[in-house]
Amino acid sequence: MEASHSRAAAQIKPRTTSIRWSETDVAKLIELWSTDLSNAEIAKILKREESAVAVKASRINLPRRKQMKSANSKARVRPCLRCTTPFYSAGPGNRFCDPCKDSSDWKNGNDHFSTAGGY
């Protein structure tokens, strides 16, 4: 019994510590996302796990790479008008990031919602 327990323990990967994404890291990810580099190559440049790159790209709503390269697209990275975090915006009418849109202020239609950096 003890041998099978130690084999199972040996197969468990140690949990990696999460490294916070700085605004510079996010900007670099967005810049690299529009290139022909793979997630693995981007991860190597950013010194992160490939899965971390994929998750962050998803969380900041980066589109499929072909959409980012479209010459006539009005989509680009813009700062959120509330929290100033850079995010991928589909057009000039999209100025708030998804986390801010998930806030109770946004959902309740509070007038002071759009004030950057506070109320």
Tokens of 93: 């009418």
Q: What is the residue-wise DSSP string for 74-90?
A: --EEEE-TTT--EEEES
- Looking at the whole model, is its pTM more than 0.75? no
Write out the chain's pLDDT in tens, 119 residues: 555 555 555 566 555 667 889 888 988 998 898 888 999 999 999 999 999 999 999 888 888 776 666 655 677 788 888 888 888 888 888 888 888 888 887 788 776 666 555 54
CA atoms of 96 and 61, how far apart (whole Å):
12
